Structure 1
Amino acid sequence: MKKILLVEDEPDLLEIFEHMLSGYEVIKASNGHEALELFERHLPDLVLMDIELPGIDGVEATRRITKTRPETKVIAITAFASRRGREILDAGAVDVLKKPFRMRELLETVRKYL
């Protein structure tokens, strides 16, 4: 089973997204620091990264993840795509999924990169 690291600071959204991804092994993180720790421990196949996070934001976490393992696919999930989308792509993300999104859109994007 493919592993996805899901990084989202809103607890309700974390649970909703986890449910949407029920066909995968989901590792959950609620901030950038936790995301980096869990990434190193689990080496997921894909990372879904919120941008606006407490502490280490999603842009910096993405930069560190892709520096460590350049082959890692990071997809940004954010309501701030127009403001910070280019920034996270420059940090190494392969795509930006704008919140709110439908389950079908999330699953199609995940399948595209797995």
Structure 2
Amino acid sequence: MKILIVDDDMTVRELLRVILKDYTTFEADDGEKAVRMYQELKPDIVLMDLFMPKMDGIEATRKILEIDPEAVVIGVTAFHSNKGDELMKAGAKEIISKPFTRKWIVEAISRYAKV
């Protein structure tokens, strides 16, 4: 399974990469790169931050779902309480709040993993 990690914080990307070491992971540090990488790689799941330079997670989620309406985008953000609804309206399947636990990430991935 391929997972695209999208976050402008290198530490968060590294942590997610370690948690997801059993999967093939790719990383983008802004929404524009995420959309380009989605088109090229067609990952099974996208873990999407909310606030990033160039293009935020809301717009990137919309664009990814325009490319592929079946895309699975999971929001991973510290701003769940005030912006999470916007990410859900853009098409995210669910939101995981930062700080997150390994368990939350693994459980979310397993919910959407294609068998």
3-state DSSP of counterpart to 1:55: coil
Paired with 1:25 and 1:36, the residues of 2 have a C-alpha distance of 18
Residue of structure 2 equivalent to 1:4: 3
Letter in structure 2 aligned against 1:46 = I
Match of 1:83 in 2: 82
Task: Look up the equivalent residue of 2:60 and give its one-letter code.
Answer: A
2: CA distance between counterparts of 1:96 and 1:73?
A: 12
Match of 1:43 in 2: 42
| Equivalent residue, structure 2, for 1:14 | 13
Equivalent in the alignment of 2:108:
109
How big is the shift at 1:105? Answer: 1.1
What secondary structure, in the 3-state scheme, does the structure 1 residue paired with 2:39 have? helix
TM norm structure 1: 0.97
Identical-residue share of aligned pairs (%):
38
Number of positions where the alignment pairs a residue of Structure 1 with one of Structure 2: 113
Q: Distance in 1 between matches of 2:106 and 2:85?
A: 22
Give the letter aligned to residue 71 of structure 1. Answer: E
Structure 1 residue 13 displacement after superposition: 1.1
Runs (4 or more) in structure 1 with deviation over 3 Å come to none
Structure 1 residues without counterparts, runs of 5 or longer: none
Alpha-carbon distance, 1:42 to partner: 0.2
The answer on whether the counterparts of 2:3 and 2:46 sit within 8 Å (CA) in structure 1 is yes
CA distance in 1: counterparts of 2:36 and 2:72, whole angstroms: 17
Q: How far did residue 38 of structure 1 move? A: 0.6
1:68 paired to 2:60: no
Residue 67 of structure 1: how far off its partner (Å): 1.4
Q: Is 1:56 aligned to residue 55 of structure 2?
A: yes
Normalised to the residue count of structure 2, the TM-score between the two structures is 0.96
The question of whether the paired residues in 1 share the 8 Å contact of 2:39 and 2:67 is answered with no
Aligned residue in 2 for 1:92: 91
RMSD: 0.6
